[in-house]
Amino acid sequence: MSTPLPSAWRNWSGLESASGLDVLVPADAAEIAAAVTRARAAGRTVKAAGTGHSFTGIATPRHVHLRPEGMRGIVAVDRDAMTVTALAGTQLKVLNAELARLGLSLHNMGDIAEQTLAGAISTGTHGTGGRAAGLAAQVVGLELVTGTGEVLRATATENPDVLDLARVGLGALGVLTTITFAVEPLFLLRAEEQPMSWTDALAAFDDLTAAHDHVDMYWFPHSDRMLTKRNTRMGTDLDGAAPLPRWRAWLDDDLLSNTVFGAQTAALNTTPRAIPAANRFASRLLGPRTYTDIAHKVFTTERRVVFREMEYALPRAAGLEALRECRTAFERSGLTVSFPVEIRVAPADDVPLSTSYDRDSLYLAFHTHRRADHRAYFALMESILRAHDGRPHWGKLHTLETADVAPLYPRLPDFLALRDRLDPDRVFTNAYLDRVLGG
């Protein structure tokens, strides 16, 4: 006898939850179409679930909840076109491992790989640097079930308007069933990690991002320390790999970055006055290191310490000034924060609802421990980010509503028109989509 599916849902950060759901695990597009048609006729909503890694309520279901477990795995590899098609519920870490076995790789990705492919592209998940930082910008085809139960295939030649807009679709246009990514031969990345002072890191920022393919920085509030990570593409000869010894990877990435950091930040919630000294200590624990490994092992790490996050994409030219303003405002505020601020960059892309649409971006991400109250900190930072025309990550906390979103996205009218066409009865809506897109 199979175990009954839980009718309740909670996201990774614990900020969003729902209960009394009608939970299904569809195995193909036909089963999804049937569920959508039934829900539409009954005036109910359908929400496709990823792994719940969005901090916002973008994935929060109301009535019918479609879980991803029945739609996983690679379905086609085209070595001439250099594309790979996978079922939409496949986790990124599974795709990465399968691609590596095939001698292939995605071009770029964010810093974890737990997400489903559909969940990751739908919120505009991105990494840093590269030719295409956002996963959605690497998508060349997809299939989805619309709000009228129709199964639509979208490529550059078939329904190209749907492909254009549904790459970052916010779960508002349909249930994705397959996604086709452009891929490239498996390649090595050399990672150089080095602590720097705030002043030196900001002074070197433009040179570092010009000299290295992927640059990521972490500033520890209450300290003058910036951890910098520069990744450089080393080609496709895998004999050049020099991964971290297992003990070092365990010490830095598991013990220090997860176990010790988790215990320390949890304890600091009860003694916030100790945070500044603890941050200065933490920023010194992770020393310089260099290693070379296949791309996805360098891009992604495990994050077991549960936190809350807000991230905005700023026009690249305004980004460092905004960061300086954030630090000044933070230091005047008297707030204490135990998690670092992450700084990344991305090239402009052509995905209409991507946070990097049509402009080079600098991303600033703010975090707090899950038991700390993030609200005053995020509100203070958000006022600065918004003053610089920042666009919030769709999956990370922010307070924007439709009227605020509209001026940031010139192609929003096209997106809303496609939503009217593909989901006229708003089968896919929820409170978050009502807030950012309107009803």
Ligand X SMILES: Cc1cc2nc3c(=O)[nH]c(=O)nc-3n(C[C@H](O)[C@H](O)[C@H](O)COP(=O)(O)OP(=O)(O)OC[C@H]3O[C@@H](n4cnc5c(N)ncnc54)[C@H](O)[C@@H]3O)c2cc1C
| List of residues 6+ apart from 290 with CB closer than 8 A | 190, 191, 192, 193
* 120 vs 335, beta carbon nearer ligand X: 120
Q: What minimum distance in Å lies between the beta carbon of 320 and ligand X?
A: 20
User: Which of 336, 429 has the CB closer to ligand X?
Assistant: 429
* Tokens encoding 216: 């990521």
The minimum distance between CB 32 and ligand X, in angstroms, equals 8
Task: Write out the binding residues for ligand X, residues 395-424 only, by CB under 6 A.
Answer: 395
**Interacting stretch for ligand X, rule CB under 6 A, among 170-178, 245-253, 345-353, 416-424?**
170-178
Number of residues that bind ligand X (CB under 6 A): 31
Three-state SS at 117 = helix
- Residue 345 has φ and ψ, to the nearest 5°, of -130, 160
| Helix, strand, coil share of the chain (percent; to 5) | 35, 25, 40
φ, ψ of residue 172 in degrees (nearest 5): -100, -10
The SS3 assignment for 53 reads: coil
Q: Which of 35, 36, 40, 47 binds ligand X (CB under 6 A)?
A: 47
CA proximity to 296, closest of 60, 44, 113: 113
- State which of positions 295-334 bind ligand X (CB under 6 A): 303
Complex with ligand X: residue 300 or 336, whichever CB lies closer: 300
Binding window for ligand X (CB under 6 A); candidates: 16-24, 51-59, 250-258, 369-377: 51-59
Q: Print the binding letters for residues 10-39 with ligand X: x by CB under 6 A, - otherwise.
A: --x---------------------------
**Backbone region of residue 76 per phi and psi (left: phi > 0; alpha: psi in -120 to 50; beta: other values):** beta
Closest CA to 385 of 370, 399, 372, 403: 399
Q: Which is nearer to ligand X, 258 or 269 (CB)?
A: 258
Least Å from the CB of residue 61 to ligand X: 8
Q: Which helix (H) or strand (E) holds 348?
A: none
Is-contact 119 6, C-beta < 8 A? no
Identify residues 336-355 at the interface with ligand X (CB under 6 A). none
Task: Record the tokens describing residue 313, joined without a space.
Answer: 């994409």
Angstrom distance (rounded) from CA 51 to CA 91: 8
Q: Which of 26, 57, 119, 319 binds ligand X (CB under 6 A)?
A: 119
Nearer to ligand X, 5 or 81 (CB): 5
Least Å from the CB of residue 29 to ligand X: 11
- The verdict on 367 binding ligand X (CB under 6 A) reads no
Q: Are 357 and 348 in contact (CB under 8 A)?
A: yes
Nearest approach in angstroms of CB 277 to ligand X is 26
Q: Which of 39, 170, 294, 298 binds ligand X (CB under 6 A)?
A: 170
> Closest CB to ligand X among 118 and 337?
118
**Distance of closest approach, residue 372 Cβ to ligand X, in angstroms:** 16
Site string for ligand X, 87-116 (x = CB under 6 A): -x---------------------xxx--xx
Instruction: Kindly write out the interface string for residues 53-92 of this chain, putting x where it contacts ligand X by CB under 6 A and - elsewhere.
Output: xx---xx----------------------------x----
Alpha-carbon distance of 121 to 50, in angstroms, equals 11
d(CA 147, CA 288): 51
Q: CB of 211: closest distance to ligand X in angstroms?
A: 22
At residue 198, what are phi and psi to the nearest 5 degrees? -55, -50
Residue identified by tokens 């809303």 is 416
d(CA 252, CA 138): 31
Residue 123 binds ligand X, judged by CB under 6 A: yes
Q: Which of 175, 183, 364, 436 binds ligand X (CB under 6 A)?
A: 175
* 195 touching ligand X, by CB under 6 A: no
DSSP state of 257: I
Q: Are 430 and 45 in contact (CB under 8 A)?
A: yes
Cβ neighbors of 21 (< 8 A, separation 6 or more) are: 7, 8, 9, 61, 63, 64, 65
Site for ligand X in 276-295 (CB under 6 A): none
Of 98-106, 119-127, 229-237, 272-280, which part binds ligand X (CB under 6 A)?
A: 119-127
Site for ligand X, rule CB under 6 A: 12, 47-54, 58-59, 88, 110-112, 115-116, 118-120, 122-123, 125-126, 170-171, 175-176, 303, 393, 395
